[in-house]
Each structure stands twice: as structure tokens, then as C-alpha cells.
Structure 1
Amino acid sequence: MATRVRRQPDDAKRLILEAASKLLAAGGPAAVQVRAVAAEVGVSDAAVNHHFGTRERLLESLLRFGGAKLKAELHTVLGAWADGPIDPAELVRTLSALYAGGYAELALALHRSGWRDTGSGMLDEVVDRLHAQARQHCAATGRTPPSREAIQLTVCALHQAVATEPLFGDEFRRSVGLDDTARAPLLDWWIETLRATVAGQG
């Protein structure tokens, strides 16, 4: 008989959410079933339900888990910015990678079911760092720095674009005669747009 491993509740929840995240990336929200998650972790269905109550609560927790993971990755990006000039390329790619991993579909599914995220300010620190960099750069080059609101609007539009890319990207590209090969250039365009905003006006 196999020995049951007893884990602390927080450790058990983390393992369950990591397994659910893996299933989400592979098959979207429909793949995140209690039985599948339990099998991935090596526990019973009851163990998953014990920590999350229902599948709906598991999915809500999974979306928050994705948000926490994104925040941690953004802190890594911000830490890299401390060593030199800010380049928004890694920021854009970090945001894009999260939503490409199934979190766009999960957010839409939860939204359709009536769930609403009341959190705010996830990218505030990013905006502040970009604004500070813009002011510093423009002071040294004699350019007019962008307002904080201009950076907020650019980051907001970028965030919206990469979040909806896995859901509607193909349709939007086809609407202007582009195909799948334009996906990477479109991401590069967002990087250049953010760089241009931070660079200010001559």
C-alpha cells in the first residue's frame, strides 16, 4: 500500500493550482476538471474539493494564481530594468506568454459565468517605472516627456491586445488582410509603440 503524503494546506493548494495551470495550457478551461487535476497531482477528487469546494471556485483560484504568477514575473522584469535602460520588450512578451497559456480563455469563461475581478493596479508599478524612465531620458535628450496618463493608456491598450490575442487575434488580423504570420510582427509593433511612447516627442 502506498504511503499517503500529508502536505500543508498551502502546499497542497499550490500543487493543485500548478497542475490545473498545466492542464489549462494544454487544453483550455474545459480540460481543468476536478478528476483530471486530482490525477495530475496524485490525490483523490475529494482532496481537490476539500481545498477549493467546487470546480468554479477552483477556476477562480486558478485565475488569481495566474495573476500572482504574472506579478512575480513582472517583478523579475522590473528587477532587470534596475540594471540599465528600460526595454519594454520583455514586459510585452511576459504579458503575451501568460495569456497564450490559457488564461485568456479562462478569464472569458469566468466572465461569461458572471464572475468579476474587482482587483486593480496590477500594472501600476510598471507604469511608474516607465514614466520615470521617460522623464529621465527626455531630460537628457531635450525631448518632451509623455504624461503618466499617456503611458497608462498605452500599457492599457497593450494589455488588452495581448489578453484578447488568443481569443480573437486571428479574426482581427483577417479583418485587415493579415494572416497568422503577422502574429509575431504585431507583438514587435507593440514593443516599438511602447518604446516610442516612452521616448517622448521631439
Structure 2
Amino acid sequence: MEAAERLLIAGGVAAVQVRAVAAEVGITDAAINHHFGTRDQLLVALLRHGGARLRKRLAQASGGDVEQLAASLAEVYADGYAELALALHQSGWRDAGSGMLSPVVDALSERIRARGRTPDRRRVQLTVAALHQGVALDPIVGTEFRRSAGLADAAPAETLDWWEQALTRMLDL
């Protein structure tokens, strides 16, 4: 998985080929195919690997820290996982799992509760989903979307900062 991830980071989804992964690891194509089945199954495994990496990063973010949450999402997606997730989605693959960000929703809800308010879980979920969507799409279309709004000079970091502020305001943190 680490070899496939290196290829993804260096060259995008197109670079993650069975032959390239095999060469990177020093084994045969057949060994990769035997383990994963097909290239598509290799890509799904790689996406899950990225999800595990994201969950690990999020677990390190303590107490619903908005900056760590946004930075963790942005880092993983900037490393090619945005393109991979979109490519798999466009090919018809759908993940049956859900709730990867539920611990984040729980931590943010607890932060709201600690401020003496009762959190609206649905609102927290929708806010986290919007952040996730925006951050995931930024590596793919962020530059074009910013340019369409007249922000040709805006950097991804500026958008990430806006998301952090928006999340903080939406949840009144």
C-alpha cells in the first residue's frame, strides 16, 4: 500500500498501475494481481488505506480542534486521495461504509456541550459534511472554482483558512 501511495502522490491515479506497484515493491505483476484481484480492487484498497490514514490523523486531533480537522482532511486529499475517490466514484464504485467522521462530529458536539449549550447533532453533521466535501474537492477543482469567483490569486491555504473560520462560526465555537 505504501508503494501504491507513493505512486499516487507522485503521479496521480493514472500512475497507480499493477506493473508500477510491482516494480516499486520488487515483485511480479502476478503477485499484485493475486493479492488484490484487479487494478480497480487495488485502487479501492488504496482508498481504504487513505481512509485509515485519515482516521489515524483525526484520532490525534484532540477535542474537536477545528484547525487540525481541516488540516488533516486537506493533507490526505492533497496527496492524491481526492482524485482517487472521484475516479472510483465515477467508475461506479460506492463505499457501503459510513460514519468515518462520526468521531469528529462527537468531539465537536462535546465542545459545544462544554460551552453550556445543547448541540444540534444534525447541524454538526451537515457542517462537517460540507467541510469534508469542500476540502475533498479543492485539489481537483479548487483553483478553477476560486478563479470563477475572481480569486485567481487565492491559494488553497486561504480556502482552508476560510473553511476553519466557517466551521467555527457555524457551530458557534
Contact 1:170 1:179 in 2 (8 A): yes
Shift of the alpha carbon at 1:199?
A: 2.6
From 131, 138, 162, the equivalent of 1:189 is 162
5+ long unaligned stretches in structure 1? 1-16
Shift of the alpha carbon at 1:182?
A: 3.5
The answer to whether residue 44 in structure 2 is matched with residue 71 in structure 1 is no
Shift of the alpha carbon at 1:74?
A: 1.0
Aligned counterpart, 1:97:
75
From 55, 61, 66, the equivalent of 2:45 is 61
Aligned counterpart, 2:94:
116
Whole-Å separation in 2 of the counterparts to 1:91 and 1:180: 25
Whole-Å separation in 1 of the counterparts to 2:159 and 2:144: 14
Corresponding residue SS for 1:195: helix
After superposition, the C-alpha distances for 1:118-144 in whole angstroms (9 at most, x for unaligned) are 11101111101101111211x2xxxx5
Contact 2:146 2:154 in 1 (8 A): no
Whole-Å separation in 2 of the counterparts to 1:197 and 1:172: 22
From 50, 74, 77, the equivalent of 2:34 is 50
**RMSD after superposition:** 1.5
Whole-Å separation in 2 of the counterparts to 1:101 and 1:193: 24
Q: What amino acid is the match of 1:148?
A: R
Contact 1:66 1:103 in 2 (8 A): yes
What TM-score does the superposition give when structure 1 sets the normalisation length? 0.81
Whole-Å separation in 2 of the counterparts to 1:180 and 1:63: 31
Q: Percent identity?
A: 58
Contact 1:29 1:106 in 2 (8 A): yes
Aligned counterpart, 2:114:
136
Stretches (4+) displaced over 4 A: none
Shift of the alpha carbon at 1:181?
A: 2.8
**CA separation of 1:145/1:26 partners in 2, compared to 1, >3 Å: closer, same or farther?**
same
After superposition, the C-alpha distances for 1:70-127 in whole angstroms (9 at most, x for unaligned) are 11111111xx33xxxx431011000011111111111111112111111110111110
Which entry has the higher C-alpha Rg, 1 or 2?
1
1:157-172 matched pairs, under 5 angstroms: 157-172=130-145
Contact 1:19 1:40 in 2 (8 A): yes
Corresponding residue SS for 2:154: helix
Shift of the alpha carbon at 1:171?
A: 1.5
Corresponding residue SS for 2:171: helix
Contact 1:63 1:103 in 2 (8 A): yes
Whole-Å separation in 2 of the counterparts to 1:197 and 1:181: 23
